[in-house]
Amino acid sequence: MRDFSQDHRWLSINTATVRRQRGAEQPLADIIEACARHGITAISPWRDQVAAAGLPAVSKLVRGHGLQLSGYCRGGMFPAVDAAGRLAARDDNRRAVDEACELNAACLVLVVGGLPGALGGRAAHKDIALSRSQVHDGIAELLDYARASRMPLAIEPLHPMYAADRACINTMEQALDVCDALDPGLSGALGVAVDVYHVWWDPKLQAQIERAGTGPQGRRVSRLLAFHVCDWLTPTADLLNDRGMMGDGVIDIPRIRGWVEANGFAGYSEVEIFSTGNWWQRGTDEVLQTCIERHRSAV
């Protein structure tokens, strides 16, 4: 396992972590400048932040600072009530792949969607199996496009509390089942994003991480494309926006990092914290400095 205690060269900042300081949306350019100032060499931005700043401008900034993208957030949201909705999702996901390529991202992260309409407060139906089959078909179709663009797709299993509105893939096992079905040759085009917040509780986590690092006949290949960290607070006050700083909660992050690294993951540790009540109330420099310290001591 890599030693993170001496420096932060493997730290990446998911730009949502510092996007809404004291209620004000921070321009992505400012976040990038702040990361550069702190010697942070990788980020993972969100599509809406990139759209607001303009893709060419972001691309220029990223290249100018020599920044890497540990991932690009995000594609997915495949289920829809009708064919037109699914076509719209297909086209939007293709644009996400194109943007990820322009930014030279390590992967496009997929939050696959749940029951159509649920995110807006009114689910169109209750058939989660239907949503899962549409997710399967949507990823299959996008995979052809992404493969041609050489952009790996990383399915991110989300905690089951988001099954209705954000993602009906909720465990590593489910995500890897989709990977095995759609990419049996382990080409590298399809894998998973392991976010400790979503999967830490899973009794099968270690076994599934081992599965992700083992190909046919025990060949060493890895479907582990991204590793996201934050912490699970007790109590958790908000289902979406009360994630903790690493070290402040109950997740044994070093243990999970040990598992992913033993199974072929050698990329960035990406800090992804949505925190209305705490970290979004602080200044960007303080948050980034804390991320650096905790990356060294608690990841």
Which segment (170-178, 222-230, 238-246, 285-293) binds Zn ion by CB under 5 A?
A: 222-230
Residue 272 found at the interface with Zn ion (CB under 5 A): yes
For residues 150 and 138, what is the distance between their CA atoms, to the nearest angstrom?
Answer: 18
Closest to 233 measured CA to CA, from 250, 257, 211: 250
- Which residue in 228, 243, 257, 294 binds Zn ion (CB under 5 A)? 228
d(C-alpha 276, C-alpha 274), whole Å: 7
Residue 298 CB, nearest approach to Zn ion (Å): 17
Q: Which is nearer to Zn ion, 155 or 186 (by Cβ)?
A: 155
Specify the long-range contacts of residues 83-91, CB closer than 8 Å, at least 24 apart: 85/116, 86/134, 86/138, 89/113, 89/138, 90/138, 90/141, 90/142
Q: Does 231 bind Zn ion (CB under 5 A)?
A: no
Q: Closest approach of Cβ 83 to Zn ion, in Å?
A: 30
Nearer to Zn ion, 91 or 252 (CB): 252
Q: How far is the CB of 125 from Zn ion (least distance, A)?
A: 27
Tokens 């931005």 identify what position?
45
The nearest distance, CB 229 to Zn ion, in angstroms, is 9
CB of 107 to Zn ion, least distance (A): 12
- From CA 170, how far away is CA 197, in angstroms rounded? 12
Binding part of the chain for Zn ion, among 29-37, 39-47, 164-172, 271-279 by CB under 5 A, reads 271-279
Least separation in angstroms between CB 209 and Zn ion: 16
- Name the residue nearer to Zn ion (CB basis): 228 or 257: 228
| Cα gap 264→281, rounded to integer Å | 37
In angstroms, the CA 10 to CA 220 distance is 22
- Residue 67 has φ and ψ, to the nearest 5°, of -80, 145
Please choose, from the candidates 294, 139, 156, the residue with its C-alpha nearest in 3D space to the C-alpha of residue 230.
294
Within 134-193, the residues that bind Zn ion by CB under 5 A are none
Look up tokens 């001496």; give the residue: 6
- Total residues at interface with Zn ion (CB under 5 A): 3
**Of the candidates 195, 242, 248, 261, which one interacts with Zn ion according to CB under 5 A?**
195
Interface residues with Zn ion (CB under 5 A) are 195, 228, 272
